[in-house]
Amino acid sequence: MSRTASDDSEFLTTIYEVDGPESLARRTAERICCDQTIEAESNLLSPSLQSTILGCLDDLRATAGGRYQATIRFPGNLLSGDCTDLLNVLFGTSSLRGDVRLLSFAMTNGLLASWQGPGLGIEGLRQAVGVSHRPLFCAVLKPLGRTPRELAELAVQFVEGGVDVIKDDQSLVDQQWCRFEERVARCAEAIGRASTGRGRPCLYFAHISGSVDTMRRRAALAKNLGASGLLIAPGLTGFDAMRTLRSDNEIALPIASHPSMLGTLVDRGRSGFAAPVVYGLLPRLAGSDLSIYPAFGSDYPMSQQDCVSVAQHSRQSWGCLKSMMPAVGGRIGLERLVELDSVLGKDIMFVLGSRIQQFPEGVVAAMKEFHRVLGE
């Protein structure tokens, strides 16, 4: 509701998009102030509690298409520091309305200080792979159905072709024909050996998504077997599971966020989360060092504006948090590389899946062409 803001120095600022006209937009925004805190009528609280618990409408302005942007400030003491609490305040009950869209959010530095964010960030990733001047390449161990030995052989080809990062496909878990332990052991050993041969490191992100207990076990095992990173799908596991592993000092491996199931959260019209929140802000806050999401112009719905905005939210200054590497995928071929590079800039990772395995001259030749296109 519109009122004098609390004197509390720590707060969460959110920006929502709601339907007009202005009178309706104001009523909706005031409803959000209550729904995202007490989910009841404000008159149930004393005036003193209203000023310290309810959200505060700071600004309301018209945008295109008869919609309005409502900027709402929530007291920082509503949050305990978990992703669960944050998501509930950001968009819990209001997500049920169908006419509210969360565009962005920000925290004061005091609140942000309780979040670790990325462990390596963009600069750390670049140092780990020994590349400072160009976009990074990530290759995917796929398709599902190959044995651990076959995936390890494919990984060697990727390294010889010059990729910087190799990740498991998100469909690889612990299938009967491709057990987790054997796959990670073989691939980590093969990637390490091939990396030594070429004289430059290549990181290997093992997929560990599962229950929290399963993820802890897989993460520890992956590290012991030589994996240099972890791949997690927070849309399947929850963002708090990712944050828990990020804060485990005994694991201490970089994390890649995979977008599986996150697409259900992203706005397709008048409601839901904006893409930069889902693929940029939330993974970065939870501790991801790189976030995979669809490139514009791919088979998945992603506008060029949203694609660029995710990259900007991943890289921009955000209190004490390190930057996060945006990683775009979606069957990227040579014909798309120049366009994506020119639009998204140097600090980007290209995720190369099945297309490079269809190159007539083989994977190594395909990767050399990708490097050539970028002017290397």
Domains of the chain: 11-112 (3.30.70.150), 121-373 (3.20.20.110)
Among 73-82, 190-199, 221-230, 255-264, the least confident range: 73-82
- Summarize the confidence of residues 41-46 as an average pLDDT: 72
| pLDDT over 70, % of the chain | 97
CA angle 219, 145, 179 (to 5 degrees): 35
At 177, list the tokens.
Answer: 């024909």
- Summarize the confidence of residues 198-218 as an average pLDDT: 97
Over 90: is that where the pLDDT of 278 sits? yes
Burial 274-286 (b: 16+ CB within 10 A, else e): bbbbbbbbbbbbb
In contact, 157 and 191? CB cutoff 8 Å: no
Q: How many CB atoms lie within 10 A of CB 94?
A: 24
Q: How many CB atoms lie within 10 A of CB 39?
A: 10
3-state secondary structure (DSSP) of residue 123: helix
CA distance 357 to 219: 28
- Summarize the confidence of residues 180-184 as an average pLDDT: 98
Q: How confident is the model at residue 8 (pLDDT cuts 50, 70, 90)?
A: low
CA distance 16 to 101: 5
Among 34-48, 104-118, 199-213, 268-282, the least confident range: 34-48
Q: What is the pLDDT of residue 50?
A: 72
Q: What is the pLDDT of residue 28?
A: 97
3-state secondary structure (DSSP) of residue 355: helix
Residue whose structure tokens are 């398709």: 143
At 126, list the tokens.
Answer: 């670049």
CA distance 60 to 10: 22
The phi, psi pair for 55, rounded to 5°, reads -70, 160
Over 60: is that where the pLDDT of 245 sits? yes
In contact, 58 and 36? CB cutoff 8 Å: no
CA distance 327 to 348: 6
Q: What is the pLDDT of residue 60?
A: 98
At 228, list the tokens.
Answer: 């240099």
Over 60: is that where the pLDDT of 238 sits? yes
| pLDDT over 90, % of the chain | 85
Helix (H) or strand (E) segment spanning residue 212: helix 212-225
- 7 φψ region: left (φ > 0), alpha (ψ -120 to 50), beta (else): alpha
Q: What is the pLDDT of residue 2?
A: 40
Over 70: is that where the pLDDT of 293 sits? yes
At 189, list the tokens.
Answer: 């050993």
pTM over 0.85: yes
- Summarize the confidence of residues 8-13 as an average pLDDT: 88
Over 60: is that where the pLDDT of 334 sits? yes
Q: How confident is the model at residue 36 (pLDDT cuts 50, 70, 90)?
A: very high
Q: What is the pLDDT of residue 270?
A: 85
- Summarize the confidence of residues 9-28 as an average pLDDT: 96
What DSSP line would sit under 141-203, residue for residue? Answer: E--TT--HHHHHHHHHHHHHHT-SEEEE-TT-SSBTTB-HHHHHHHHHHHHHHHHHHHTS--E
In contact, 368 and 163? CB cutoff 8 Å: no
Which residues lie closer than 8 Å to 285 by C-beta, 6 or more apart?
83, 86, 115, 117, 239, 243, 321
Q: What is the pLDDT of residue 45?
A: 72
Among 116-125, 325-334, 367-376, the least confident range: 367-376
Half-sphere exposure of 66 (CA within 13 A, CB side): 7
Angle of helix 180-198 relative to helix 212-225, nearest 10 degrees, comes to 40
Residue whose structure tokens are 């201490």: 252
Q: How confident is the model at residue 1 (pLDDT cuts 50, 70, 90)?
A: very low
Over 50: is that where the pLDDT of 113 sits? yes
- Mean confidence (pLDDT) of the chain: 93
Angle of helix 363-373 relative to helix 148-161, nearest 10 degrees, comes to 30
In contact, 324 and 318? CB cutoff 8 Å: no
3-state secondary structure (DSSP) of residue 272: strand
Helix (H) or strand (E) segment spanning residue 344: helix 334-344
- Summarize the confidence of residues 214-226 as an average pLDDT: 98
Q: What is the pLDDT of residue 209?
A: 98
Q: What is the pLDDT of residue 3?
A: 39
